[in-house]
Structure formats: C-alpha cells, structure tokens
C-alpha cells in the first residue's frame, strides 16, 4: 500500500512538471507571435522619373479675331444687295448700293453753287485791282466760295457712302435687309462681317496664377464639335487689370484658323501649360506625410523606416513632384506609413 502511494505521488509530480514545461513553451511561442504581429506590414516602390507639367484649364467661347456690324451712313432705299449670308468678301469689295437719286441731285446743286460762287469771287478779285469794289466785298465773296466748295465736297462724300463696301476681308455671317428696304444713316444694320482666318478665346485667370501667364505662352484648345482634335493657340494679350468682382484677369488667346473649321460661338476648352519640369522625381501623393515641421516620406533602409524630409512641387493626378530631399534611388514606403515611426522595423509585403 505504501508503494502504491509512493508511485502515485511520483506520477502526480511528473505530470505537474510536464504541464509546467508545456505552459512555459506555449507562453514563449505566444510572446514571439505577439512581437511578430506588432511589426507593421508595408508596401514600397521606387520614385519615378518623368516630365511634370503644371496646367491650367478654362472654358470659353470662340470669337472672331475681327468683326463688325456694317451700317449705312446715308438714308435712302436699299437699291441692290450683292452678297448673302456665308459669302466670303475681300477688303473694299462692294456689298450693297443705296439709291443715289437724291444724293446725286445734291452733288449737282452744290456743284452749281460752288461754280457760281467762284465766278463771283473771281469777278470781285478783278474789280478790286481796279479799285471798283471794297476789299470787304472781295473777302465776303471768297468766304462764300469756300463754303460752297465745302458743301460740294460733303455732297460728293455722301454720294460715295451710297456704296457699302467691306472694311476688311471675311465672311458675311448675317444679312439683315433685302433690296427695297428703307435704311437710315447710323441706324440700320445691313450686314455682320467676321474675319475667320484667326479666332480667339477669352479666358479669366485667377489672381494667384497671374505671375505664371506671359504673352507668347502656348495653349491647347479643343472644341466639342471636333472631339480629339487639338488646336494650338498663343497668349496674345493680357488685360493688365484684375476684375474686382471676380479677382480674375482677362487673357486673349489667338488661334490660327486657315481652314475656317473653328466657328465663332463654339464652346472651347483651353489648356495652358504654364510650367514644365523634365526628368522630375515623383512619388505617389498618398505616400507623403505631414507634421508640424513640414512634409516627409518614409524610406526603406535595411527593413527599417527612415523619415526623409522632402519639398513637394507640382501635383499631377495621383503623383507629386519632389523638388528636394530625394535622389530617386530610394525605396519609398507607400502603404502602411501611417503606423510607422523613424527607425522602426517593418515587414515588406511581397
């Protein structure tokens, strides 16, 4: 009986030792697993080298480079019309003629008055040499002759105004009146004329971007009518004043249009490339971190995270240019960096 008790006690002690050893190894394993689970899992990539462009995009309307509403300077019936909507005309080409009956009669009348006044003046000039008239009479005759000459010149000018001509080459975009209509001077619009060899788009630049805009910079223009087709324009004029209500400055962009495909009134999208940096270092924008000192990224160095201060530049899409702080040879942590600290160990996800 005593032997049985001895064996039982030894067995209990041995079992207890086994349980203790198993518990110790289990605790050690759990501790190692816990330490492994506290190491952040990250993704990395190399910085890219690419050309970075800073672009501004605007919407506007296509406008003729030169346009005019053509009026009649004299009153009368519209005698003949030589052009219609869509007609291409040259500079000084005859567009229409106003009835000249009354205007021609005025020329004849003023011509006769001038001829008579000149004869009277010449007669008084001869009589003055013979002391048969007073010098005042000769001077009055001279003044009358000059007034008659001015009236005659005015009548001839008005007669020339009956011929409506094109002030510049372009297209008649609208004809308002037909032959036989009564027109009055400076009141009746006869035609709209537009020069389409070049067109322009006016855009409004925000105040903060004004220093980036200079005459001569290139612009890319697209219109809805021709998807995928790009037109190259040039900044030609700056208003040099900021609109107080919008804090923007008007800028005109000229676009060559030799094929006349661009039409005034088309809706246009204008892209201005205001800055271009070739061979720039870029990283994903979401890789950038910020603290109270500035911006930084984490670089992978021997399975540890190293904080690197950087100076960001232009942001294009999902990537940001780095102007200083990186050489381009580093390996940048792009995912999981929010859980890192400088010098901390990391695990790279394969």
pLDDT tens per residue across span 60-95 = 999 999 999 999 989 999 999 999 999 999 999 999
pLDDT value, residue 129: 85
d(CA 136, CA 141): 9
Query: What are the DSSP E strand ranges found in 86-212?
Result: 88-89, 94-98, 163-165, 170-175, 182-183, 189-206
d(CA 114, CA 107): 10
Beta-strand relationship, 347-348 and 41-45: parallel
Give tens-digit pLDDT for 121-136. 999 988 888 888 888 9
Mean pLDDT to the nearest integer, 212-236: 92
How many residues in the chain?
Answer: 350
Angle in degrees, CA 313, 47, 330, rounded to 5: 110
d(CA 310, CA 154): 77
The sign of the torsion formed by the CA atoms of 109, 112, 113, 114 equals positive
DSSP state of 90: -
Phi, psi of 204 (to 5 degrees): -115, 120
DSSP state of 337: G
Structure tokens belonging to residue 134 = 């007073």
Q: Is the model more confident about 188 or about 290?
A: 290
**Per-residue confidence at 160, pLDDT binned at 50, 70, 90?**
very high
Q: What rounded mean pLDDT belongs to the chain?
A: 87
What domains can you pick out in the chain, each with its CATH number?
41-51+278-348 (2.40.420.20), 56-63+196-276 (2.40.30.170), 100-161 (1.10.287.470)
Is residue 292 within 8 Å of 225, Cβ to Cβ?
Answer: no
Task: Compute how many other C-beta atoms are within 10 angstroms of the C-beta atom of residue 289.
Answer: 16
Closest CA to 98 of 156, 191, 179: 179
pLDDT value, residue 23: 52
Angle in degrees, CA 301, 307, 311, rounded to 5: 120
């Amino acid at each position: 009986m005593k032997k049985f008790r001895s064996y039982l006690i030894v067995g209990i002690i041995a079992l207890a030792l086994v349980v203790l050893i198993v518990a110790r190894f289990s605790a050690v394993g759990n501790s190692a697993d816990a330490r492994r689970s506290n190491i952040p899992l990250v993704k990395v990539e190399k910085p890219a080298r690419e050309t970075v462009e800073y672009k501004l995009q605007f919407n506007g309307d296509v406008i003729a480079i030169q346009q005019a509403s053509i009026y009649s300077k004299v009153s009368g019936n519209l005698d003949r019309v030589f052009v219609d909507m869509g007609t291409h005309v040259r500079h000084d080409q005859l567009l229409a003629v106003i009835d000249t009956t009354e205007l021609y009669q005025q020329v004849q009348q003023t011509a006769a008055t001038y001829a008579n006044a000149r004869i009277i003046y010449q007669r008084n000039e001869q009589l003055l040499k013979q002391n048969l008239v007073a010098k005042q009479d000769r001077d009055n005759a001279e003044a009358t002759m000059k007034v008659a000459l001015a009236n005659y010149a005015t009548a001839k000018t008005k007669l020339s105004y009956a011929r409506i001509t094109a002030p510049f080459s372009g297209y008649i975009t609208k004809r308002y009146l037909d032959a036989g209509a009564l027109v009055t001077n400076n009141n009746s619009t006869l035609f709209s004329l537009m020069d389409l060899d070049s067109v322009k788009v006016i855009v409004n630049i925000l105040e903060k971007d004004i220093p980036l805009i200079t005459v001569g910079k290139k612009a890319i223009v697209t219109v809805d009518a021709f998807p995928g087709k790009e037109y190259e324009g040039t900044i030609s004029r700056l208003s040099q004043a900021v609109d107080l209500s919008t804090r923007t400055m008007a800028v005109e962009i000229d676009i060559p249009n030799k094929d006349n495909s661009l039409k005034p009134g088309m809706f246009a999208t204008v892209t201005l490339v205001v800055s271009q940096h070739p061979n720039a270092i870029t990283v994903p924008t979401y890789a950038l971190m910020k603290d109270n000192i500035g911006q930084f990224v984490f670089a992978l160095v021997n399975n540890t995270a190293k904080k690197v201060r950087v100076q960001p530049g232009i942001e294009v899409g999902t990537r940001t240019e780095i102007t200083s702080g990186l050489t381009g040879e580093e390996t940048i942590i792009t995912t999981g960096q929010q859980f890192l600290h400088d010098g901390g160990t990391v695990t790279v996800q394969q």
